[in-house]
């Protein structure tokens, strides 16, 4: 995992955005360009850093070169900003790590390039506030993260016009060589119906439309088919009993959440439990500390919970647009509308 830790001084403002999904027809590209012109450019002297929280590009089932070419204008507009930038990879642009194939340690920390500081996590300390930035898939798929990340990388290389790359499982089996032995054997021996169910559940709809929410418990059960709790414990330094207990609690909460699918709000206790389990999962997969504020994307719904120190930047899909602002020791969420 590539992690960047930076202690920064003289901060004025951090802006975090996530889930533009440039390359998908759902992307609110015009809205984000408007955001650059009407907010980022006029305020760049007051912005210390822009953190791109992943899925900025959508490489799934798309030709990587075509996505970059068609959205070069957005990347160039961002690059012109005289502001430090960090790009954290998400599940839909996970292949950027291998496409760049470089060690960020050779890049000056004050670089302004959009893809000069690429990592999976970022830690910043600002005015006594400790911040941990991630995309967010590390939380939602915590028991099977190693499998999910090779699945995400494979989805970036799928090409229906290339016989060797048209089947995502052919690519997954190649990437599976890097997995721990227990998970690798599980992946190799998955029944066809489980492979199909995993692909359908994890890959989502072909045309980029947002899928109607379905059973979270069913997704959990599928993830368990490609997970190994002993490996999770070894990798995280946690006791196996802790991992098993978290999995039990997680499953119970998912059962309750399934009863609220489609609801815009959750009962207060359930909302508290959901945020707490996200922090617990982040402690396992990205070493989140108790005093750190977790800043993420991936959820597509913007929120800030100050008490439990967790926030989501939302997304730029359809007519939506939102971002997080870190200023004066506070994390706040903001909505953007074109021509606002």
* Lowest mean pLDDT segment, chosen from 90-99, 204-213, 246-255: 204-213
pLDDT at 340 over 50: no
Does 59 map to a domain?
yes
Query: Total structural domains in the chain?
Result: 1
Q: What is the pLDDT of residues 94-136, one digit of tens each?
A: 999 888 875 555 556 666 778 889 999 999 998 789 999 999 9
Does 57 map to a domain?
yes
91 exposed, middle or buried (CB, 10 Å; 0-12, 13-18, 19+)?
buried
Mean pLDDT of 233-261: 95
Does 166 map to a domain?
no
Does 62 map to a domain?
yes
Q: What is the pTM of this model?
A: 0.92
* Lowest mean pLDDT segment, chosen from 7-16, 29-38, 233-242: 7-16
Mean pLDDT of 175-200: 93
Mean pLDDT of 232-247: 95
Does 232 map to a domain?
no
pLDDT at 295 over 50: yes
CA-only gyration radius of the chain, Å: 19
pLDDT of amino acid 145: 96
pLDDT of amino acid 261: 85
Measured CA distances, 175 to 8, 57, 130, 149, 152 (Å) = 37, 22, 35, 10, 11
- CATH number of domain containing 69: 3.60.21.10
Q: Which residue segment(s) compose the domain that 23 sits in?
A: 14-136+294-335
Least Cα distance to 83 among 33, 130, 15 occurs for 15
pLDDT at 270 over 80: yes
pLDDT of amino acid 143: 96
CB 329 within 8 A of CB 129: yes
Q: What is the pLDDT of residues 75-86, one digit of tens each?
A: 999 999 999 999
Q: What is the mean pLDDT of the chain?
A: 90
pLDDT of amino acid 122: 96
Does 188 map to a domain?
no
pLDDT of amino acid 9: 54
Does 203 map to a domain?
no
Instruction: Give the tokens for residue 203.
Output: 């890959």
Mean pLDDT of 196-225: 79
Q: What is the pLDDT of residues 129-180, one digit of tens each?
A: 999 999 999 999 999 999 999 999 999 998 877 767 778 999 999 999 999 9
Q: Looking at per-residue confidence, does 3 or 180 come out higher?
A: 180
């Amino acid at each position: 995992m590539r992690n960047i830790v930076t202690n920064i001084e003289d901060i004025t403002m951090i802006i975090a955005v996530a889930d533009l999904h440039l390359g998908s027809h759902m992307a609110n590209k015009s809205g984000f360009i408007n955001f650059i012109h009407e907010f980022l450019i006029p305020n760049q002297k007051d912005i210390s850093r822009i953190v791109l929280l992943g899925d900025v590009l959508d490489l799934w089932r798309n030709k990587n070169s075509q996505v970059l070419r068609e959205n070069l204008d957005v990347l160039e507009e961002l690059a012109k900003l005289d502001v430090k930038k960090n790009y954290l990879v998400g599940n839909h642009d996970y292949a950027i790590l291998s496409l760049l194939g470089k060690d960020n340690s050779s890049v000056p920390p004050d670089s302004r390039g959009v893809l000069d500081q690429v990592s999976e996590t970022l830690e910043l300390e600002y005015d006594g506030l400790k911040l941990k930035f991630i995309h967010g898939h590390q939380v939602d798929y915590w028991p099977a993260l190693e499998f999910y990340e090779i699945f995400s990388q494979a989805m970036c290389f799928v090409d229906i016009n290339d016989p060797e790359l048209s089947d995502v499982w052919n690519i997954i089996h190649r990437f599976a060589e890097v997995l721990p032995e227990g998970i690798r054997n599980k992946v190799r021996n998955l029944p066809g119906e489980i492979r199909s169910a995993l692909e359908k559940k994890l890959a989502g709809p072909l045309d980029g439309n947002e899928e109607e929410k379905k059973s979270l418990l069913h997704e959990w059960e599928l993830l368990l088919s490609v997970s190994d709790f002993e490996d999770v414990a070894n990798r995280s330094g946690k006791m196996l009993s802790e991992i098993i207990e978290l999995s039990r609690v997680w499953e119970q909460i998912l059962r309750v959440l399934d009863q609220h699918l489609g609801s815009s709000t959750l009962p207060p206790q359930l909302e508290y439990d959901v945020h707490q389990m996200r922090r617990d999962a982040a402690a396992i997969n990205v070493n989140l500390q108790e005093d750190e504020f977790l800043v993420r994307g991936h959820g597509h719904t913007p929120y800030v919970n100050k008490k439990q120190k967790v926030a989501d930047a939302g997304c730029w899909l359809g007519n939506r647009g939102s971002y997080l602002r870190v200023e004066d020791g506070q994390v706040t969420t903001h909505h953007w509308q074109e021509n606002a």
